[in-house]
Amino acid sequence: MTALALLPALLCQAAAEVAPSQVPSLGGGFSWIDWVVVLAVLVAITIMGERLAGRQETVRDFYLGGRRLPWYAVSASIIATEISAVTFFVVPSMIWRTGGTLLYLQVGVFSAIVARLIVAFVLVPAYYEREVYSPYEYMGNRLGSGVKKMTTGLFMIGGLLAQASRVYITAVIIEVLAKEELDVVASYTGLSPIASAVAAIALVALLWTWLGGVATVIWTDAFLFLMFLAGLIGMLFVLHAGTDGGLMASIDIARESGRLQFIDTDFAFTKPYTLVAVIFAISWGYVGSFGTDQLIVQRLLCCKNERDAKLAMVGSYLSVLVIGLAFLVGIGLLGYYSTHSMSDVAAALTADGAKPERILAVFVREELPVGVRGLVLAAAFAAAISSLDSILAALGQTTLATLWTPWRERKGPSYMTEAEESRSNLRASRVIVALWAGVLAFVALAMQSVEARYDNLLNLALAMSALIGGPLLAGFALSWLPQSDDLKDTRHARGSAGFMWSAPLGVLTVLFAIWHGDAAYRASWWAVSIVFGLWLVVGLPRRRQPFGAIQTLLYGFSLFLLTRVAEVGDFDDGKSIAWSWYVPVGSTVTFLYALLLDKHGRRR
């Protein structure tokens, strides 16, 4: 069952989650020196980010950094946003766990470069044709305001799910690293340790975003990228020194246990990292992630010009280096624990039936020296903040452009001066960002129930990112199509009216392709009834919406088929379609149905 369908129930459950920590006592722990290091690092990053960001006087400064940020800072920010704590802590567990492999490394090596080149040389030039604040504004300029609102709404849902999952994963790690401290907080507040960790991440992320908008976010992300590298390299030195035979002995252990498998040619739609999925499906999905997700595009739009934006996009391919180092840390852990005993508590925490993703956190807590532990905790905490402040800036901008500004315009003419209106919008932006911080923290807690659907926390994060990506990518593809000369305006652009109905169809197709059974069957009928009812009610009186006998039958029959998909049950071995196919399926359905349902509305 996916987060999209379960969200209301999950939020209620998360709100009531006040159970004490289920993490038993571990060795090690954090001294006052470690906490001084954590505080010093976070304060230093905050001050440097705020100083480098400069004064924020306008919305353009707050959301585009005045379009004066250097490409290398933007590139480092993209890397920090992309990898976050998922790469830092979860990727090492991908090779540590029983049956672990290097298959995910293919994504960084192959899929990432293909997608980056397409985004740099196809999508970036389109966005720099005029000054836009988001890809959804670009789509709106090409296809009409309805498409802008639809794509913005989809981004908000997808961004909530994707980044909330990353914050939750980091909270799981921090729960191990700072268990005693979180238990003390829980005794005073009644919040669970996970909830306390999420709240702390949200508060600091809100502060960083408030201080200087996206410019501060980008500069702090750039520092975090350097921290990721330093942390991973430092742990490699410790693992090498603490293992008989060093890292080469660890690599031999990984090879002998079959963990160095890099390519899987055994294709199946239920397997996420087959060679076909990596080269075709994940590359396809990454074009959407890098090119139509405001989280990344907002950074590209902060560059001085199109050339710098291309350099930033291609330069962010260095993220593969971080992924490779994270896998090497996982290999090092194999060798280290082949010659060092792990406590019973640590073994229980990292077993396959528990959460193998905790292995690096256990190593940091029990094995690293004083001070170094604090540095790693600061990196983990900052990684989660990087994910959260990035999405806060993106959600704030899209909300301001889609909801706040149109509401102000409907109230009538403003008698404020340009400077007064700019300050008013800036204050509104900070309030909007604060509201989104609360919502994101709430959704992060809901991920406790969603994670059971996926094999590991990495697949959870990737799946949440891909759930809504298909319709967004289809929206850009439609806006990129050449338009007929006989169309009167953007409201009647090719595919625009059809997209308003095909986008929900694309989301539902992915939803019920991965969620099956009795509950999904009942939910599918509710979803179909609502969407088709809106088709009839909205489509009939508004001629510019696609509405005709053939189109109505086609759309109704397609929606009905979704109820059959939801009813059939899981695929073989209890698995459904892998996350890597979410975007190809969603974008194909959305794009084709947008054209099939489109009537172009009234003509001249």
pLDDT > 70: percent of the chain: 81
What pLDDT band is residue 50 in, cutting at 50, 70 and 90? low
Nearest to 209 by CA among 403, 387, 73: 387
- At residue 69, the 3 state secondary structure works out as strand
User: 203-207, 320-324, 404-408, 411-415: which has the minimum mean pLDDT?
Assistant: 411-415
What pLDDT band is residue 186 in, cutting at 50, 70 and 90? confident
What pLDDT band is residue 413 in, cutting at 50, 70 and 90? low
Task: Answer whether residue 8 shows pLDDT above 50.
Answer: no
Q: Is 469 within 8 Å of 155 (Cβ atoms)? A: no
Task: Answer whether residue 335 shows pLDDT above 80.
Answer: yes
- CA dist 104 and 374 (Å) reads 29
Q: Is 32 within 8 Å of 366 (Cβ atoms)? A: no
Single pTM value for the model: 0.84
What pLDDT band is residue 604 in, cutting at 50, 70 and 90? very low
- At residue 303, the 3 state secondary structure works out as strand
Q: Is 26 within 8 Å of 345 (Cβ atoms)? A: yes
130-179 residue pLDDT tens:
777 778 888 888 888 888 889 988 988 998 898 889 888 888 888 888 87
- CA dist 278 and 422 (Å) reads 45
Mean pLDDT of 46-70: 61
216-243 residue pLDDT tens:
677 777 777 787 788 888 889 889 999 9
353 by Cβ neighbours in 10 Å (0-12 / 13-18 / 19+) ranks as exposed
Mean pLDDT of 305-320: 93
- CA dist 348 and 538 (Å) reads 56
- CA dist 220 and 121 (Å) reads 27
pLDDT at 15: 38
Tokens of 124: 């970036």
Nearest to 21 by CA among 169, 182, 143: 182
- CA dist 327 and 254 (Å) reads 11
User: 379-393, 484-498, 562-576: which has the minimum mean pLDDT?
Assistant: 484-498
Q: 303 forms bridges with which residues in the sheet?
A: 69
- The larger pLDDT score, comparing residue 529 to residue 495, is at 529
Tokens of 210: 């408030």
Task: Answer whether residue 471 shows pLDDT above 90.
Answer: yes
What is residue 99's DSSP assignment? T
Task: Answer whether residue 514 shows pLDDT above 70.
Answer: yes
Residue 30 has phi, psi (to 5 degrees) of -105, 130
pLDDT at 18: 38
- CA dist 428 and 416 (Å) reads 15
Task: Answer whether residue 446 shows pLDDT above 70.
Answer: yes
The residue behind tokens 């999904």 is 520
Domain 3-467 has CATH 1.25.40.10: no
What pLDDT band is residue 428 in, cutting at 50, 70 and 90? confident
Task: Answer whether residue 475 shows pLDDT above 50.
Answer: yes
User: 98-102, 260-264, 412-416: which has the minimum mean pLDDT?
Assistant: 412-416
Residue 577 has phi, psi (to 5 degrees) of -55, 135
At position 306, the amino acid (one-letter code) is E
81-114 residue pLDDT tens:
787 777 888 899 999 888 899 999 999 999 999 9
Q: 69 forms bridges with which residues in the sheet?
A: 303
pLDDT at 261: 94
Expressed in angstroms, the distance from the first to the final Cα of the chain is 48
- CA dist 562 and 204 (Å) reads 42
What pLDDT band is residue 448 in, cutting at 50, 70 and 90? confident
Integer CA distances (angstroms), 74 to 125, 222, 225, 301, in order? 17, 8, 11, 9
358-367 residue pLDDT tens:
888 889 888 8
At position 483, the amino acid (one-letter code) is Q
Residue 368 has phi, psi (to 5 degrees) of -75, 150
pLDDT at 222: 76
pLDDT at 1: 40
Phi-psi region of 461 (alpha: psi -120 to 50; beta: other; left: phi over 0): alpha
Nearest to 325 by CA among 410, 406, 230: 230
Residues 6+ apart with CB under 8 A from 587: 284, 288, 469, 470, 471, 473, 474, 477, 506
User: For the chain, how many helices (H) and strands (E)?
Assistant: 29, 0
Task: Answer whether residue 9 shows pLDDT above 50.
Answer: no
pLDDT at 400: 78
pLDDT at 249: 95
Compute the mean pLDDT over every residue in the chain, rounded to the nearest whole number.
81
The residue behind tokens 């919406």 is 545
Domain boundaries, the chain: 3-467, 468-604
State the helix-helix crossing angle for 71-85 and 193-242, rounded to 10 degrees.
100
Query: Could you tell me where the beta strands, DSSP code E, fall in 114-206?
Result: none
Mean pLDDT of 192-199: 89
Q: Is 158 within 8 Å of 469 (Cβ atoms)? A: yes
User: 261-265, 315-319, 389-393: which has the minimum mean pLDDT?
Assistant: 389-393
pLDDT at 343: 78
At position 309, the amino acid (one-letter code) is A
pLDDT > 90: percent of the chain: 29
- At residue 383, the 3 state secondary structure works out as helix
Task: Answer whether residue 52 shows pLDDT above 70.
Answer: no
What is residue 65's DSSP assignment? G
pLDDT at 375: 81
377-412 residue pLDDT tens:
787 777 667 667 777 877 877 787 777 677 776 666
